[in-house]
A and B are shown apart, each in its own frame.
Chain A
Amino acid sequence: MDWGLVATTFWRLMGALPLTLEVWFLSVVLGGLVAAGVTWMRVSGSKPLEILARAYVAVFRGTPLLIQLFIVYYGLASLPAVRHSLFWPILREPFNCGVLALGLCTAGYQAEIFRGALLAVPHGAVEAARACGMSSLLLFRRIIFPIALRHALPAYSTEMISMVKATALVSLITLWDVMSVALKIRNDTLVTYLPLILAGAIYFTVNYILGAAFLSLERRLSPHLRARPS
């Protein structure tokens, strides 16, 4: 075993980790914002808005992320209308396309998580808050949001982890993330497994830390469910 090779490969892969995390973070935030809008449309009570929200979720959850990514990166760039629009400086960059596609996709999944969490808020709690005269905003801040957040957390952490895994797809649109650097090293050095194994270890560690962080957040937010100290 050539430990020098292991070390250089590892550090080259680690050098690409910031880009992977950046794509992850920005797309998750973008997805959260879009998902909030979609969820609001879904529960707004207006039929057309609800249908639109349902269609959004069905399309983005019912098709592979890869083809969505290629539509945004290769597809949009081929349309003259897009090339001449003011969005072109944004859509020209593969990084922005990656964030946009990943964000729009996770929004579909996050919207379903948010909706499920909203449905889990007991009707009685909302009625009680109304009865003591809370305004809509206060009702949301004090009653709906804290209860919904706790319900959403387990599914949300799963979605966050699957988004880390999804960032590997941006290697297919010319971005130098951990995945593509691993493939590049593999091509250059003809070492078959090492780059892939080390890249796998990096992804796995990131996901492990993320999962543990969410688990501790879950525990902190639900002290009332823990066993009482004797």
Chain B
Amino acid sequence: METLRIFGFGEGGWGLALLMGAGMTLLVSACGLLIGAVIGGLVAWARLSGHRLAGAAGEAYAALFRGLPELLVIYFVYFGSSTLLTTAAFIVGYDGFVGVPSFVAGALAVGVISGSYQAEVFRAAYLAIAKGELEAAVSVGMNRWLMFRRIIAPQVLRFALPGLGNLWQVALKDSSLISVTGLTELMRVSQVGAGSTHQPFAFYLAGLVLYLIMTLVTTRVFDLAEARATRGMRRIAG
């Protein structure tokens, strides 16, 4: 009964807080994934451009952020962006410390990490497009933008979906580390609840279950999206 009250939605219940935390986790992970898609797209473009310097820079970026602990990247982005912003504020005439909201820093950190992996997913997806299709597009006189919009982008998205599904899960799990910056996402709410009720086991277990539900449900969503995106393709297996 006592447990029911603690996790309920009534007075002194943590149910709503945990659900809001889960919502915040989804939001910050989704923003991270989107930022990662932009970074990953740019890095993949750099590596595919054939430009030696751009290619090397893209490769270095991907290698660097895959070789660093996620927690370290989160601390670095969190402390680093605040220092940058404070300096910027000083230049425009504001004297004093300006902290970056932990949501922004967290989404940015998850995005920076995710981007290094998404670059590889996008690159592989682009290379999976049949050469003949690109040649055909050029030969019917499509300009580069039209070719990107009609031929490249739809197919890259289709081929990248399975990889992006995996990276969504990774982003969701990495987002728990943002709790160290104080953002009230699910991990942080579990911690606070555990501390104030002196029931760490129950709270972390509740958090774990919510995370599990989120990964299982969203994996299903990605599976459905994949089935829809590939509905016109002949399959070898599955």
Contacts and interface: CB of A to CB of B under 8 A. Distances in A.
Contacts of A169: 71, 177
A203 interface: yes
A182 B80 CA distance: 15
Interface string A66-82: 11101100111111000
Contact of A63 (B64, B67, B179, B208): B208
B68 A179 contact: no
A63 B72 contact: no
A217 interface: no
Contacts of A172: 71, 180
Nearest to A75: B201
A74 B194 contact: yes
Contact of A71 (B70, B204, B212): B204
A46 to B, nearest CB: 24
A74 B200 CA distance: 6
Interface residues of A, number: 39
Contacts of A166: 69
B79 to A, nearest CB: 6
A207 interface: yes
Interface string B162-185: 000000010011111101100000
B69 A179 contact: yes
A171 interface: yes
A51 interface: no
Contact of B204 (A67, A193, A199): A67
A17 to B, nearest CB: 13
Given A64-B174, A70-B204, A192-B79, 11 more contacts: A58-B212, A63-B208, A63-B212, A64-B187, A67-B208, A75-B200, A166-B69, A167-B69, A200-B72, A204-B68, A207-B67
Contact of B205 (A64, A71, A171, A204): A71
Interface residues of B, number: 38
A65 interface: yes
Contacts of B205: 71, 75
Nearest to A199: B72
B190 interface: yes
A76 B199 CA distance: 10
A66 B72 contact: no
Q: Which of B66, B75, B79 is the most central at the interface, judged by chain A CB atoms within 10 Å of its CB?
A: B75
Contact of A74 (B70, B204, B211): B204
Contacts of B173: 63-65
Interface string A30-48: 0000000000000000000
Interface in B181-213: 187, 190-191, 194, 198-201, 204-205, 207-208, 211-212
A153 interface: no
28 contacts: A62-B169, A64-B174, A64-B187, A64-B211, A66-B177, A67-B176, A68-B208, A70-B191, A70-B200, A70-B204, A74-B194, A74-B201, A77-B200, A79-B201, A164-B69, A165-B69, A166-B69, A168-B70, A171-B71, A179-B69, A182-B72, A192-B83, A193-B79, A199-B72, A200-B72, A204-B67, A204-B68, A208-B67
A59 interface: yes
A161 interface: yes
A179 B177 CA distance: 14
Contacts of A179: 69, 71-72
